[in-house]
Structures are given as structure tokens and as C-alpha cells.
Amino acid sequence: MANDFETTIDFIKSQFKTDEFIPLHVPHFGGNEKKYLLETIDSTFVSSVGAFVDRFEVMMQDITTAKKGIAVVNGTAGLQVALRLAGVMSDDEVLTQGLTFVATANAIAYNNAHPVFLDVDIDTMGLSPIAVSNFLDENAEMRNNVCYNKKTNRKIAACMPMHTFGFPVHLDELLSVCDKWNITVVEDAAESLGSYYKGKHTGTLGKLGAFSFNGNKVVTSGGGGAIITNDEEIGTKAKYLTTTAKKPHPYEFYHDELGYNYRMPNLNAALACAQLEQLNSLIENKRTLATEYASFFASKGINFRTELENTKANYWLMCIELENKAERDLFLKQSNENNVMSRPIWQLMHRLPMYNHCQRDEQKNALFLEERIVNIPSSARM
């Protein structure tokens, strides 16, 4: 297998046409980024009020077809506020996947709620509707049309799937299970801008969705995020809460509930707008790379992860599934020593000290993937 890995490393280098270090994902600034940033500086509106913040929110509505888009400082803040708007309160529980980036769990904890870590599906690497259904059948009961965990006596207030690396979860099945138990779905769509499930953009099928525009995403604002929803009342409340819950007034400062200073600065929004203008071309470029990878890895007998039927993935971070942990570790070592960045998928949340007490299921599929999935360079080659 070592020789195969050498060939793989050479192939990846050939795709990026360099012997220099190849990162996992770098931003591409090939549009109006500098122009819009200079406009923002010239306007003096560089903080959380400005034309580009408004433009960004409209662009997110247009791209996702959501009725409301709300700019926030990062994806984690978006998730935190989205959960609050979904009705998650202190000491409630939120069902989510154990195989995820830590921000998913942190957003739950920031609301003083408790994550419950459930298994993922092998094909999507995201929250499994079967795992959710099995957990609820065994642990939940309805009290006055509200779902409670019989073992902890806490309300199960929401379910938050995460679309891993931009691959949509099985949303129809998950929504059906949650509807049966009257549980609100909030989509962690941080990694899935430009991904679709049965023709609908991720983030629009749950009550709310949240996206990240971190420096390593498909498009970036340096730091930034967005909440989307088709509930206009919730969208208005989201904008209000993220603007310190300040009542509009020409000069008085009055805040009538606990809010957050979570608005995206106009400087970041300027960068985001220029990036969003290039979203389609960036994704098409990445999909071309994914096609090249798929053909190469098929010839090597290595499973390169591709989108499922009835979905369109943005291929944010592309990944391969190796035979076992030993093969994974060998590939990680050889690729990184040869200037090709690769990384393993995340450690399961229950392995982290702040979450090792949380309720969870067997995590069979998550454990399988944790030992085998490796991300490889995925940048657009513009």
C-alpha cells in the first residue's frame, strides 16, 4: 500500500501543479474583493452597519431561496442563536451527531443545553435518522405534546444535523422522525453552502439553518456566518437578538431582553459579497477536481466519497475512506511529510473532556468512519 500512497501523493501534486506545500483548502480572491473593501473603507462604515451587510443578507436569501438571511460574526454564533430561536432553553436537550466539528456541540452548550450524541449514516457521514428514531423509541415519551427524555427527565427541544463536508444528510427521513416526536430541526449547514437536497438548498428544510464563512470555507468573509429561515417572524427576531436586542431609536439606548453583539462587520460583508458572486464558478471548479479524484481513486480501489442520488454536494472538503486506522495513519504520515496536507476526520465528541459525560448511543458507524476517513486537498484550482 505504501507504493500506492506514493502514487496518490504524486497525483494530488499533479492536480495542483506544484511541489510546494499544498494546504487542504485555501480561499480564492479573483473577483471584486479589493474593490469592495476599498469602497467600505472610503465609506467609513466598517463595523456592523453598512451597505454590504444588507447586500450580503439579500444575496444569501437569493442563493438559498430562504425568506430571511441574517448576517452574523461566525457560524457558531449563528447556530447558538438559531437554537435559541428554535425554543431551546437552559437544561433542555438537543439531539445531534457524535461525529462533527466541536462548534456543533459548543453551540448547544452555549445555550446551557445538553447535547445528546447519536450515530451517523455511513453514506452521508451525517446524523442518521435511524439512530434518532431508535434513540427516541427507547428513551423518549410525549407529555402534553412535548418530547421528554425518560432517563434524564429533560425536554428534547431540538435536533441538529450537520452536513459533513457539504454532503447533505437524509433530510426527509430525519424530518419525518422529528415531526412524529414534535422536535424542531435546526440545520448545521456550516460546511454546505452550495449543497442541495432534492433540489432544495441545505439550511432551508429545517426551521432554521446556519452557515460559516470562515477562511477555509468554499467562500469566505475572513470570519463570518449567516442564519437563514423561511419564518419571517423568526428572521426578524434573529436580526434583533444579534444586534444586542436594541429597540430602534434615533439616539436612545434601550434593550428589552438579553441579546448578542453578533452582527457581521461591513468589512467582512464586503469580502463575502465579492466571494458569493463567484460561488457557482468556485463550486463547478471543485466538482471538476472531485471528478478527477473519483476516477483516480477508483483505479486504486480506494473509496472516494461522492454525492448521493437526489443531492448535489459542494465538495467543500473531499475525502477518502481507507481500509483501517493503520492505513489511515500511514497515509497521514506520508502525505504530510511530502508537502501534501491531509487530516483525519474529527475525534468523536464524547472523547472530549467537556462532553464525555453526555448521553450517547453505540456510535458504531461513527467509530468506523473515525478510523478511516481522511481529508485531502480540496481547493478550487482557478
pLDDT at 3: 57
Instruction: Give residue 48's pLDDT.
Output: 86
Q: How far apart are CA 72 and CA 70, in angstroms?
A: 6
Topology of domain 33-276 in CATH is Aspartate Aminotransferase; domain 2 (3.40.640)
For the question of whether the overall pTM of this predicted structure is more than 0.75, the answer is yes
Q: Beta partners for 312?
A: 196
CA angle, corner 305, sides to 304 and 310, nearest 5? 140
Q: Could you state, in order of their start, the residue ranges of all structural domains in the chain?
A: 2-24+279-376, 33-276
Residue 213: all three cell numbers together: 464563512
Report the candidate in 201, 232, 227, 196 with the shortest Cα–Cα distance to residue 212: 227
Angle between helices 266-276 and 33-43 (to 10 degrees): 150
Max intra-chain CA distance, the chain: 70
pLDDT block averages, 10 residues each, the chain of length 382: 80 94 96 98 93 98 98 98 98 98 98 98 98 98 98 98 98 98 98 98 98 96 97 98 94 95 97 98 98 97 97 98 97 97 98 98 98 98 82
- Is the domain 2-24+279-376 a CATH 3.40.50.300 member? no
Tell me, what's the pLDDT at 1? 46
